[in-house]
């Protein structure tokens, strides 16, 4: 909802999530303060593009220009050209970036809800709360993370980050590893423990996909 004051009257306007995202992007990219917020937003978006490119192609994404906006737009042009030329690579790039084919890459990276908006302590607190609510047992990790992100981004004007083998997963994995350490009371017990979905064998140090994992919870040690 948004309000507009005209001739002494306050009008309430209902905006859909895409209009809200556009307003959010406009506020970010045209904010006061000497252009610093806008510049930083473009540098952050460029880093996400380059990280995804490096993960998929094991190569560097070229970006030319003296300002953040120029370098981001140049990199985005190269990125889109690769999408047109390489269907398989392009599909994986979008998956890593957490962007669907019908979504605008620039809008998602610059203005949509993102893990960068959250502090580590807030995410870990939400993970701990969800573990307490679930109680003792083994649960599908992806479902648990969806519930956590739903709660964290409940007031977001755009969709929340998706759970999957994308750019958000390494950070979520880091928080889960920290929570494992924080709730490890061995040999008595462990509050939170990651396990393979099949239940056998040690978990890889850097698993690539949360759908391959489950989470084992024991509230007595949380």
Taking the model in full, what pTM does it have? 0.79
Within a domain: residue 19? no
Print pLDDT tens along the chain (222 aa): 444 343 343 333 333 444 444 444 444 444 433 344 578 889 999 999 999 999 999 999 999 998 999 999 999 999 889 888 998 999 999 999 999 999 999 999 998 989 988 999 999 999 999 999 999 999 999 999 999 999 999 988 889 999 999 999 999 999 999 999 999 999 999 999 999 998 788 899 899 999 999 999 999 999
Q: Residue 111: its pLDDT value, please?
A: 87
- Considering 112, 139, 167, which residue would you say is the last residue of a domain? 112
Do residue 86 and residue 139 come from a single domain? no
Q: Residue 37: its pLDDT value, please?
A: 52
Q: Answer whether 17's CB lies under 8 Å from 158's CB.
A: yes
Q: Residue 11: its pLDDT value, please?
A: 37
Do residue 213 and residue 155 come from a single domain? yes
The structure tokens 């889109």 sit at: 80
Using CA of residue 212, residue 172, residue 114, residue 92, what is the dihedral sign?
negative
Q: Residue 23: its pLDDT value, please?
A: 43
Tally the domains of the chain.
2
Q: Token digits for 209?
A: 């996909």
Do residue 108 and residue 124 come from a single domain? no
Do residue 152 and residue 207 come from a single domain? yes
Q: Residue 201: its pLDDT value, please?
A: 86
Do residue 103 and residue 146 come from a single domain? no
Within a domain: residue 9? no
- Considering 95, 112, 129, which residue would you say is the last residue of a domain? 112
Q: Token digits for 154?
A: 């409940």
Alpha-carbon distances, residue 92 vs 24, 100, 101, 123 (angstroms): 28, 11, 11, 26
Q: Residue 4: its pLDDT value, please?
A: 37
For 158, the domain range is: 116-221
Q: Residue 63: its pLDDT value, please?
A: 92
Within a domain: residue 21? no
Among 26, 20, 25, 29, which Cα is nearest to 2's?
20
Alpha-carbon distances, residue 173 vs 59, 150, 194, 195 (angstroms): 24, 17, 10, 12
1 CB neighbour count, 10 Å cutoff: 7
């Amino acid at each position: 909802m948004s309000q507009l004051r005209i001739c002494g009257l306050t009008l309430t306007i209902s905006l859909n999530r895409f209009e809200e995202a556009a307003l959010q992007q406009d506020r970010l990219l045209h904010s006061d303060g000497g252009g610093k917020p806008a510049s930083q937003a473009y540098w952050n978006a460029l880093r996400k593009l380059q990280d995804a490119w490096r993960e998929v192609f094991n190569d560097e994404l070229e970006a030319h220009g003296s300002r953040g906006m120029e370098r981001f737009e140049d990199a985005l042009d190269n990125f889109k050209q690769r999408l047109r030329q390489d269907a398989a690579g392009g599909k994986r790039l979008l998956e890593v970036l957490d962007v669907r084919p019908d979504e605008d890459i620039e809008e998602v990276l610059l203005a949509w809800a993102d893990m960068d908006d959250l502090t580590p302590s807030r995410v870990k607190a939400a993970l701990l709360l969800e573990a307490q609510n679930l109680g003792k047992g083994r649960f599908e990790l992806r479902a648990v993370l969806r519930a956590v992100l739903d709660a964290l981004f409940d007031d977001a004007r755009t969709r929340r980050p998706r759970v999957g083998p994308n750019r958000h997963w390494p950070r979520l994995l880091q928080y889960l590893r920290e929570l494992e350490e924080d709730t490890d009371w061995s040999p008595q017990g462990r509050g939170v423990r990651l396990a393979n979905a099949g239940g056998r064998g040690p978990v890889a140090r850097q698993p690539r996909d949360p759908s391959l994992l489950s989470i084992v919870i024991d509230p007595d040690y949380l």
